[in-house]
Structure 1
Amino acid sequence: MKLAYIANKINGTSGLQRMITLQINYFIVNYNYEIDLLLLEQDESEEKNFFELDKEVGLHYLKHYKNHFIRVYSKVKGLNRTLEIVKPDIVIVCESDIFSLYLPRFVSRKFKMVYQRHDTKQLNLKSINSSVKAIFLNKLKKLLLTNAGGGYDKFVLLSDAHRLDWKNLNSIEIISNPIIIDTKGVTAKLEQKQVLAVGRHDYVKGFDMLLYCWQKVTEKYPDWKLKIVGKRNSNIDLISLAKNLNIYDKVIFKGETKDISKVYLESSIYACSSRLEGFPLVIIEAMSFGLPVVSFDCKYGPREIVKDSVDGILVPQNNIGLLADSLCRLINNVEIRKQMGKKASENIKHYSVDKIMNQWKTLFEGLIQNSNAV
């Protein structure tokens, strides 16, 4: 089988880029698929990919422009030209932008098309910018999203909760993200005085709220540390906020790391303070290492994974006080912490990579069989 993946970039550290890399590498090694990757906004001269791609992948860097209308035209032209050369059986589109949602309308089709969505629909509209331009663009996007996603043979979402966003579609399939890291049966001892949070410094991750929460926690447990791992953003100054809250010495800021397993094993609790999530890979990973999770019960993500009071604690959205109280509860009671951690490592096993990848294989084979039957 021959697949062609379409993505904007692959050289970052986002959950989507990790998942694209995992899928491509797994399909090549385990199913012997031929795979090409078409990159719409990445130059060949850019920095090396953070996640290593199999050498058998055919990479195609499409020329892109700054001007919006020229960029859209060049994307369509470049995609049609490249897909004609590659001749895939199935094309998998992985981006969440409006262009990708409407892409089937602009390509010459001799193949099946699959769309996989790793974000909520709301993410296309959410903006902290209240300018006239931002308001207008959000209204335009909302109009475009009403009928978006049509034309795809399969529209893949991460969980049943996301179905409500796409009531206009009848091609929906549910395939969750798998556990990416192999723990090799090793779990955290949950004895080190460290709470962990992982993610880019972004408004949607809610690390600002987590720091206000941590200020309350350190009043009771000053010997505990909060570790935030992820790419920094110049628009969000978490370090200055930590200093203003007088907790800078209680917080460890660490950038991107390839040795994330060590970070999980050195921690005792995982904290998720997101304002919105699609299906957080980091929660799955943390639980696979036996970390109990304390999370805001934000839309879609955590509630699909965490069983409240069994393998973690779900807190009403944006309730900083209760988030702090829940962290303090697990900090104070090592037995409850370890009981929840054990349940976490057991309950998360149904997200095994082999099981999830087999669901993709079944989907692809079904599309090809239906195509041959026509």
Structure 2
Amino acid sequence: MPKIAFHLNCLTHGGAERVVTNLAGRFADAGYEVVVATEWIDDNEYELNPKVRRVNIGLTTDDEKKGRIYKYIRRIRYLHEFMINEKPDVLIAFAKLALFRALMSCKGTNVPVVISVRNDPRTYYIGPRNAFLIKRYIGRAAGAVFQTEEARNFFPKALQNISKVILNPITPKYIKAPDTGYRDKLIVNAARVVGFKNQEMLIYAFADVYDRHPDYKLKIYGADSGDGTWQRLEEAIRETHLDDAVELMGQSDSLEEDLRCASVFAYPSNYEGMPNSLMEAMALGLPCVATDCPCGGPRELIQDGINGLLIPVRDKKALSDKICWMIEHPQDAQRMGQEARKISEKASLDAVYEQWRIYLDKVIKSGKRQ
């Protein structure tokens, strides 16, 4: 069986980290030798399958005392040495810093590198520096996996031609959660508390919902990113006088239980890659309202009016109106929730693994090496 290596910064709770954890475990269960190379070990990380080996290739204590350029070069060197020593049949790099580092490191290793873009490239891959890095290094990629067609179309045609669009795998516990026979008077959101997720707009939108439906509550689940958003959410709660109706729940490891009886799952992001928590909410059968944000993740998942509702980005009124519509049309909302559950058929871990397996086998056999 081939040997597969994944590379990313760490395994702390986040979308890319969850995907790597799930995929690495599934490949290992299928008999592959799997190694995950990370830059550092963080608090509150996802737990890897015991069959997966993890290697720390980050900076040493002495390295940390040096300047920025020195550390940048050392990171590239350590990843290069990892590829030389481990000799994986393919290395998959997740997210911008890791993927550029992998493309810089792979020269002379004879290891094909597949890059996986996880966020909206029109936000994260613009500007002179990124344009230079794309022009200089993107041709070294042996392949690429994108989450949406919109994200793929941002990159050069040569990369598009050797790429594949694959959905994220849904964590099995969300697929296995049973249907609920009732709905609590509860609106929920689950995402890292960070600016671009725009939970602040959700609180102001919920204030309008609360005026019409004062028996409903809003719970926001997710870890504090430390960018000041948590404090802005607290201020929004005070400003709208919703202290008894809105609650910031923090990180939860039991969202399949916390969310599944809610009336509406609201997802107001300004931009996304492929939102795992929206996929998980759909797998639970929740009626979902989401922004039609770049780079097209919610649009890949939701057929407006069929298995959920899409609204324009940053449109507070549309968000409150659509949440109220779901509340006021419970039979239609329930029907959309049942349609949403069908996401599990194409985004189960086994289905997504099979797409990755076929694609990586093709990349390995293509013979493109640096």
**TM-score (norm: length of structure 2):** 0.90
Give the letter aligned to residue 254 of structure 2: D
- The residue number in structure 1 matching 2:55 is 60
1:175-254 alignment, distance < 5 Å? 175-182=166-173, 183-184=175-176, 186-234=178-226, 235-236=228-229, 237=231, 238-254=233-249
Q: In the TM superposition, what whole-angstrom CA distance separates every residue of 1:117-164 from its partner, at most 9, and x where no partner exists?
A: 1112123268xxxxxxxxxxx543344445553211111101222222
- The residue number in structure 1 matching 2:105 is 106
- The residue number in structure 2 matching 1:312 is 308
Give the Cα–Cα distance (whole angstroms) in 2 for the partners of residues 358 and 82 of structure 1: 27
| Cα gap change, 1:54 to 1:292, in 2 (>3 Å) | same
Moved more, 245-254 or 16-25: 245-254
Q: What residue ranges of structure 1 are gaps of 5+ in the alignment?
A: 127-137
Q: What residue ranges of structure 2 are gaps of 5+ in the alignment?
A: none
Q: Does 1:117 align with 2:117?
A: yes
Give the letter aligned to residue 277 of structure 2: V
Query: Secondary structure of the equivalent of 1:80?
Result: helix
Q: Does 1:35 align with 2:30?
A: no
Give the Cα–Cα distance (whole angstroms) in 2 for the partners of residues 86 and 146 of structure 1: 28
Aligned length: 354
Give the Cα–Cα distance (whole angstroms) in 2 for the partners of residues 143 and 80 of structure 1: 21
Q: Contact 2:77/2:105 (CA < 8 Å) preserved in 1?
A: no
- Note the aligned Cα RMSD (angstroms): 2.0
- Deviation of residue 226 (structure 1)? 0.8
Give the Cα–Cα distance (whole angstroms) in 2 for the partners of residues 347 and 63 of structure 1: 37
Q: In the TM superposition, what whole-angstrom CA distance separates every residue of 1:233-277 from its partner, at most 9, and x where no partner exists?
A: 441211122111111211121111111110122312110100001
Query: Secondary structure of the equivalent of 2:50?
Result: coil
Give the Cα–Cα distance (whole angstroms) in 1 for the partners of residues 84 and 125 of structure 2: 34
Q: Contact 1:288/1:349 (CA < 8 Å) preserved in 2?
A: no
- Deviation of residue 102 (structure 1)? 5.6
Give the Cα–Cα distance (whole angstroms) in 2 for the partners of residues 297 and 104 of structure 1: 32
Give the letter aligned to residue 195 of structure 1: I
**TM-score (norm: length of structure 1):** 0.89
Task: Pick from 273, 284, 291 the counterpart of residue 268 of structure 2.
Answer: 273
Task: Pick from 277, 281, 284 the counterpart of residue 286 of structure 1.
Answer: 281
- Deviation of residue 77 (structure 1)? 1.5
Give the Cα–Cα distance (whole angstroms) in 2 for the partners of residues 38 and 241 of structure 1: 40
Query: Secondary structure of the equivalent of 1:92?
Result: strand
Query: Secondary structure of the equivalent of 1:310?
Result: coil
- The residue number in structure 2 matching 1:361 is 357
Task: Pick from 297, 320, 324 the counterpart of residue 320 of structure 2.
Answer: 324
Higher RCO (CA 8 Å, separation ≥ 6 residues): 2
Give the letter aligned to residue 145 of structure 2: V
Q: In the TM superposition, what whole-angstrom CA distance separates every residue of 1:56-83 from its partner, at most 9, and x where no partner exists?
A: 3222212324532111111121112222
Report sequence identity in percent: 23
Q: Give the ranges of 4+ consecutive aligned residues of structure 1 lying more than 6 Å apart after TM superposition.
A: none
Q: In the TM superposition, what whole-angstrom CA distance separates every residue of 1:11-70 from its partner, at most 9, and x where no partner exists?
A: x110111111001111111x2111111112x14xx53x5321122322221232453211
| Cα gap change, 1:298 to 1:184, in 2 (>3 Å) | same
- Deviation of residue 178 (structure 1)? 2.0
Give the Cα–Cα distance (whole angstroms) in 2 for the partners of residues 8 and 233 of structure 1: 16
Give the Cα–Cα distance (whole angstroms) in 2 for the partners of residues 191 and 56 of structure 1: 40
- The residue number in structure 2 matching 1:132 is none
- The residue number in structure 2 matching 1:50 is 45
- The residue number in structure 1 matching 2:144 is 155
Moved more, 204-213 or 173-182: 173-182
